[in-house]
């Protein structure tokens, strides 16, 4: 049975299933479809399923042409019906893992997907969790649910964890050329997962267990969170010392060893860095250990929107204006440059805080035509000289490369730049206030 599964995987006759067709699941489905597999995507969203079956992509990194080509060749189909799992040989779980309001892990989407799989689990099936979670989830939470079927892991079915490594908007590293880490419950599980990924991913790294693979993902994003927290605190220090933090970082980065530059900003966004370290912190609290670096970095990073608002307040004060009744134009509401993703975007917190102080807010984002705040839909304003001149202050929150920053500075009264996006601006530098 084990050898039969490996043969199906290697000769591309294995039926591949992916539960969750978002930023992780859809790119994965496309890669396996293009590798020659018949891929079935499963999602509770009828809107996503209809889009895929119509050959349309809703993920910026995946052009419509790739999806349409696979749908036409019958290499990719999507459905909301879970019973298709009974006909699949591999199932990858790519569902969201948010935090609750109390910053506790919410693995309800994972458990719902596993219950689907458990209902249709059969001998010779490979199950892989890709959703980020705390160490122990695969073995302690998923395995018992699958064992309820009466089938035994490593003998009848195979279970592994392989953390997604998606960087939306990255033009260099995509699903195919980003190395994959895999760890299984048993050695056979690890090998099956490794062989599966080797068919579509350029480089696969096997580790000793699912727990090790789970920890790898959390280390990666905790590393980024802690270093961003450090440089954000350095930005606060430089403000007190009347120093330019961007100059300091650029000069430090000239050192060819022992230093890696990170840059401050208005706060963390996206699904990974603001959330994943708290999974690890939560798990360690259950073991009576306080993750000090994680908690401190979280405190600093989550306070950056308030700091941005305080700096905007100071910038307006120097022009004898208050935040209340000031017209403030927000440039960029996506959580990072050149993408449309607004999940956990610090721009939303900054907008809320400014509105609470009475500011009149409007925004422009070439990737986000409309957005909801205060229970209302707001549309992106056209970025014209008149719109820029109308604002008492223009705040650059996301440094999209489409923006003509010289034009912004030429027409704005004050520019508050949280990303050092105006570093190449020549005229009007006295109008610019850097984070």
**Per residue in 313-347, pLDDT tens?**
999 999 999 999 999 999 999 999 999 999 889 99
Q: Give residue-wise pLDDT tens across range 373-417.
A: 888 899 999 999 999 999 999 999 999 999 999 999 999 999 999
pLDDT beyond 80 at 129: yes
pLDDT beyond 80 at 272: no
Sign (positive/negative) of CA torsion 378, 380, 384, 390?
positive
What residue spans of 22-153 are helical by DSSP H? Answer: 25-34, 46-53, 64-72, 108-120, 137, 143-147
The rounded distance, in Å, linking the Cα atoms of 173 and 165 is 9
Q: Are 99 and 72 in contact (CB under 8 A)?
A: no
pLDDT band of 274, cuts 50, 70, 90: confident
398: number of Cβ within 10 Å: 29
pLDDT band of 127, cuts 50, 70, 90: very high
pLDDT beyond 80 at 103: no
Q: Please compute the mean of the pLDDT values over residues 83-103 and round it to a whole number.
A: 90
Q: How would you label 30-65 residue by residue, b for 16+ Cβ within 10 Å and e otherwise?
A: bbbbbeebbbbbbbeeeebbebbeebebbbebbeee
3-class DSSP assignment, residue 290: coil
Residue 91 tokens read as 């199932």
Q: Please compute the mean of the pLDDT values over residues 300-312 and round it to a whole number.
A: 96
Q: Give residue-wise pLDDT tens across range 406-424.
A: 999 999 999 999 999 999 9
3-class DSSP assignment, residue 69: helix
Whole-number pLDDT of residue 275: 82
Whole-number pLDDT of residue 271: 75
The rounded distance, in Å, linking the Cα atoms of 300 and 226 is 9
Residue 288 tokens read as 């009576």
pLDDT band of 124, cuts 50, 70, 90: very high
Q: How many CA atoms lie within 13 A of 180 on its CB side?
A: 27
Q: Give residue-wise pLDDT tens across range 138-186.
A: 999 999 999 999 999 999 999 999 999 988 888 899 999 999 999 999 9
Whole-number pLDDT of residue 167: 87
Q: How many CA atoms lie within 13 A of 192 on its CB side?
A: 33
pLDDT beyond 90 at 101: no
Whole-number pLDDT of residue 376: 85
Q: Give residue-wise pLDDT tens across range 209-243.
A: 999 999 999 999 999 999 999 999 999 999 999 99
Would the pTM of this model clear 0.85, i.e. be above it? yes
Whole-number pLDDT of residue 42: 98
pLDDT beyond 90 at 105: no
Whole-number pLDDT of residue 219: 94
Whole-number pLDDT of residue 214: 96
* Cross-strand partners of 361: 328
Q: Give residue-wise pLDDT tens across range 343-375.
A: 889 999 999 999 999 999 999 999 999 998 888
Q: Please compute the mean of the pLDDT values over residues 256-279 and round it to a whole number.
A: 89
For 230, left (φ over 0), alpha (ψ -120 to 50), or beta? Answer: alpha
pLDDT beyond 80 at 131: yes
Whole-number pLDDT of residue 202: 96
Verify whether residue 272 is a known catalytic residue. yes
Mean residue pLDDT across the chain: 95
Whole-number pLDDT of residue 60: 87
Q: How many residues does the chain have?
A: 435
Residue 35 tokens read as 């590798």
Percent of the chain that is helix, strand, coil (3-state, to 5): 40, 15, 45
Among the options 94, 189, 238, 272, which is catalytic? 272
Q: Please compute the mean of the pLDDT values over residues 90-105 and round it to a whole number.
A: 86
Whole-number pLDDT of residue 179: 97
Residue 340 tokens read as 């449309």
Domains of the chain: 2-208 (3.40.50.720), 234-434 (3.40.50.720)
């Amino acid at each position: 049975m084990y050898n039969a599964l490996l043969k199906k995987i290697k000769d591309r006759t294995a039926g591949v299933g992916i539960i969750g067709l978002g930023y992780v699941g859809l790119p994965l489905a496309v890669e396996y479809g293009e590798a020659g597999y018949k891929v079935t995507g499963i999602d509770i969203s009828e809107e996503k399923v209809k889009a895929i079956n119509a050959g349309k992509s809703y993920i910026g990194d995946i052009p419509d042409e790739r999806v349409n080509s696979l749908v036409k060749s019958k290499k990719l189909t999507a459905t909301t019906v879970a019973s298709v799992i009974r006909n699949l040989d591999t199932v990858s779980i790519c569902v969201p893992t948010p935090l609750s309001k109390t910053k506790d892990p919410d693995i309800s989407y994972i458990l719902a997907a596993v219950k689907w799989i458990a209902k249709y689990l059969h001998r010779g099936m490979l199950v892989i969790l890709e959703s980020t979670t705390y160490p122990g989830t695969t073995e302690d939470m998923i395995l018992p649910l699958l064992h309820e079927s009466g089938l035994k892991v490593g003998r009848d079915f195979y279970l592994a964890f392989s953390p997604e490594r998606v960087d939306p908007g990255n033009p260099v590293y995509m699903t195919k050329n980003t190395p994959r880490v895999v760890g299984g419950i048993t050695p056979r599980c690890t090998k099956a997962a490794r062989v599966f990924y080797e068919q579509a991913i350029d480089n696969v790294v096997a580790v000793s267990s699912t727990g090790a693979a789970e920890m790898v993902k959390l280390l990666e994003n905790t590393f980024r969170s802690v270093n961003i927290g450090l440089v954000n605190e350095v930005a606060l220090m430089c403000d007190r010392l009347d120093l330019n933090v961007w100059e300091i970082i650029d000069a430090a980065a000239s050192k060819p060893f022992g230093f890696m530059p990170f840059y401050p900003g208005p706060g963390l966004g996206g699904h990974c860095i603001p959330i994943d370290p708290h999974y690890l912190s939560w798990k360690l609290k259950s073991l009576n250990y306080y993750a000090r670096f994680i908690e401190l970095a979280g405190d600093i990073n989550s306070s950056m929107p308030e700091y941005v608002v305080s700096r905007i307040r100071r910038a307006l004060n120097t022009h004898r204006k208050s935040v209340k009744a000031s017209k403030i134009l927000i440039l960029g509401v996506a959580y990072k440059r050149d993408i449309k993703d607004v999940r956990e975007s610090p721009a939303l917190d900054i907008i809320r805080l400014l509105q609470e102080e009475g500011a009149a807010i409007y925004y422009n984002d070439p990737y986000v035509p409309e957005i909801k705040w205060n229970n209302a839909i707001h549309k992106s304003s056209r970025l014209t000289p008149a719109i820029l001149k109308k604002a008492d202050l223009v705040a650059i929150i996301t440094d999209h490369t489409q923006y003509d920053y010289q034009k912004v500075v030429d027409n704005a009264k004050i520019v508050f730049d949280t990303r050092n996006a105006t570093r190449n601006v020549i005229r009007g530098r006295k109008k610019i206030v850097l984070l």
